[in-house]
Amino acid sequence: MIKIGIAGYGKIGQLRTSILSERDDVTIVGVYDPIKPEKLKSGIFYASFDALLEADLDAIFICAYNTVLAEYTTKALDRGLHVFCEKPPAMKVEELDNVFDALKSSGKVLKYGFNHRYHYSIMEAKKIIDSGKMGRLLWMRGVYGKAGSIDYDKNWRNFKKYSGGGILIDQGIHMLDLMRYFSAEKFNKINSYISTSYWDIKVEDNAFVLMQSDNNVIASLHSSATQWKHKFLLEMCFEEGYLNLDGILSGTRSYAPEKLIIGRREFEDITFAMGKPKETIISFENDNSWNLEIEEFINAVNGNGEIKQGTLKDAFETLSLVQKVYENSEI
């Protein structure tokens, strides 16, 4: 039985707790949050993170403000705990130096929560790409947009002292991670512009990014909090066709439906000369991404596998990309 602590009991901390509570191989023995939750089992609340670390734990889920993620991860690893940390891994890549050292010294498991990689449409697209059937990747175009809400400007994610940035580091980071994941490219040339177009906040509500890799793969991203509807779309064009990831399932299903559209280049066939190639559309009705990433973490803690997605290296590379976008837009 793995004894687990939860650091941060907001929306995501409660979601992680709910999923973990359904398992029979773990038990939650402690919860820390700056504000004591009203509905929490008696005897498991801790008034500080350091106090939680002193509890009888094997592993910890860190679901706190971005500003403390690297610090908490380092402390937990130094304490000899396995760590599951939400994205982003830190506000700045420089904060991860201590995490690398702590992970190496501890020999423990560290995983970051990039759950989009565990969506069934994402995994199916990755299998197709890895098969080589689509040929060389040419370009990628992504849009990840939020509808906003009446209290959007009051969310902690829009206060730089807690989050480190706005919509890009909150949501756009997932799309950048997927672009890295699918392309296996390192994007070194970046043109970007971030803006605060509508919301009364001190961070960006829109980010426009254009990137180029050393292998001449071009990728563009628009991460937006002024889309006025939830939207997820990632288009990828290859030598032999294209893959479109249109929609992604969530708890509210507001980004649904989740579809993978597969098209083949057909201009040699006069039947399809008008630019309307045959498409295969696969629809996905279930989202087990949160469960699957926790399953990988628990298996690794038990010595039954290793962390394949959400490694420290992955998190570092994705955050580096986010940081370059911010830095580039300030020039």
Has residue 36 got a pLDDT over 90? no
Neighbouring CB atoms inside 10 A of 161's CB total 11
Q: What are phi and psi of 225, to 5 degrees?
A: -110, 15
**Which three-class secondary structure state does DSSP give residue 299?**
helix
Residue 268 confidence class, pLDDT cut points 50, 70, 90? low
Has residue 271 got a pLDDT over 70? no
Provide the percentage of residues in the chain whose pLDDT is more than 90: 89
Residue 33 corresponds to which tokens in the numbers above?
Answer: 């949050």
Residue 323 confidence class, pLDDT cut points 50, 70, 90? very high
Residue 205 confidence class, pLDDT cut points 50, 70, 90? very high
CB 39 within 8 A of CB 31: no
pLDDT at 148: 87
Between CA 124 and CA 158 the distance in angstroms is 33
Provide the percentage of residues in the chain whose pLDDT is more than 70: 97
Report the run of H or E that residue 243 belongs to, with start and end. strand 241-246
**Closest-CA residue to 176 (of 223, 124, 236, 246):** 223
Strands (E), 49-174: 59-62, 82-86, 110-113, 137-145
Fold of domain 120-286: Dihydrodipicolinate Reductase; domain 2 (3.30.360)
Has residue 331 got a pLDDT over 80? no
pLDDT at 38: 82
pLDDT at 76: 98
pLDDT at 274: 61
pLDDT at 122: 98
CA distances from 315 to 96, 299, 319, 321 (A): 10, 20, 6, 10
pLDDT at 254: 86
Using only C-alpha atoms, the chain has a radius of gyration, in whole angstroms, of 21
Between CA 121 and CA 119 the distance in angstroms is 6
pLDDT at 55: 96
Q: Which residue has the tokens 């001449």?
A: 216
Enter the CATH code of domain 2-114+291-311.
Answer: 3.40.50.720
Q: Where in the chain is the domain with CATH 3.30.360.10?
A: 120-286
Neighbouring CB atoms inside 10 A of 56's CB total 8
* AA letter at 197: S
**Closest-CA residue to 194 (of 23, 92, 327):** 327
Whether the bond between 34 and the residue before it is cis, its omega within 30 degrees of 0, is: no
pLDDT at 269: 60
Question: Average pLDDT for residues 177-184, to the nearest whole number?
Answer: 98
Question: Average pLDDT for residues 59-73, to the nearest whole number?
Answer: 98
Neighbouring CB atoms inside 10 A of 166's CB total 27
Rounded to two decimals, the pTM is 0.95
Q: Where in the chain is the domain with CATH 3.40.50.720?
A: 2-114+291-311
Taking only the tens place, the pLDDT of each residue in 295-311 is 999 999 999 999 999 99
CA 118 to chain centre: 10
Paired strand residues for 212: 189, 218
Residue 252 confidence class, pLDDT cut points 50, 70, 90? confident
pLDDT at 307: 97
